[in-house]
Structure 1
Amino acid sequence: IQQTIQERREEKIISTIDKRLSVYDTDIKRINAAIDSISKVNDALYRELEAKPTTTITTVSTSQQVAGIDANGKPIKTNVQSVNKTVVPNPRAEQAKGNEEQLKIYNAQLDELRNDKKNIDKTVREDFSKRPTGFIEELEATLAVVSQSPVSLTFYIILFMFLTFLELFVLTIKTGDSKCDYELIVEHQLELKKNVMLNTENILKK
């Protein structure tokens, strides 16, 4: 039976390993696709930055200036626009930097998944080794052994018949026995409690 339990556990271990490997492969494929996508975007950004590392920001401001005095002696004001041009780094550089940080996160996740995948056999076997043998597992193993071995089936049938006969034999012997001391003591205690309750009830009625 223990050998059958180990064989059935080995089948479950292999099945669990296959399922987890499938999950790891799916996650690794997803992360690789994300890394490839971001890398392509960054390649285009770096080409753009190489061609245009800076950009010019143009700001227009309006101010009033005195252009002269009218006939009444009041100042004549006019609006003057000022155009300012500032050279700043291309904002695409920040986008490329953010993508690089995301690539670092994805690569770290990828390394972790690959490491877990490499140790999956050891991890699963350690998990199963910590599990105690349950009743259902023993029962399934017993049924498997009995169904495959006529000798085992015969042995368990004989054992079952022997235990059944033994139980019937004990019951038959006890059928003709008088009450034992323990049963007499229990009945005596019950009778005393019954009398106490009746006396208490009579006292309360008076």
Structure 2
Amino acid sequence: MSIRGVLIDLSGTIHIDKKVIPGAIEAIQRLKASNIPFRPMLLMEDEAMEEFEGIDIYKPNAVVIGLAPSKFNYEKLNQAFRLMISDPNVALIAVHKAKYFADKDEKLSMGPGGFVQALEFATGVTASVVGKPTVEFFQLALKQLGMESSPQHVAIIGDDVSNDLGGGAKELGFFLFIYLVQTGKYRQDDNNASDGLNVFKSVVEAIDHIIEQYKRDH
């Protein structure tokens, strides 16, 4: 079985906050030069709020939770709680439910998952997850690569063994070329989280391994 495409996580894999993983840019350039199709898997950053400019939020009909640590406080969560219990039609939407993320100091911090679950518990409403690790998210990524019908030929690189490399990725058949990098969210116990993991120091070594295998197969 050969690799015909690559999906790469960004936060924690290519960069941590504003700090780029050493050698990552050059590795991406080598991957691009190899002609292997690839796409980054985008995560919601704080700046994503700019995408909501022009949208009427006077009477919100949904609570959308992404990675926004400055908003994860009692006042904001209680505001969301009151909105949801006042109107059963208000939806709870989570970009993802990650347990933790690699913060700017390169240490782990709480992700949005616990805060989403707090609202789920308080309101009795189950959040709709629209990002990783849903099947729909990875199907969209495969569509961008033009490989909807052959996910088994796609390599996937990430630092989160659950969200990047599990869930929908496994359901769709991303089980032959799974690359876990020891940056970002990585913890030693992740090595034993799943069979078939290829563990590398960073995205640099993972990409070089993929390029070498691609060259052997072609």
Task: Indicate the structure with greater helix content.
Answer: 1
Bin for the TM-score computed over the shorter chain = under 0.3
Structure (1/2) with the larger strand percentage: 2
Q: Please report the TM-score for the alignment, with normalisation by the length of structure 1.
A: 0.23
Larger radius of gyration: 1
- What is the TM-score with the length of structure 2 in the denominator? 0.22
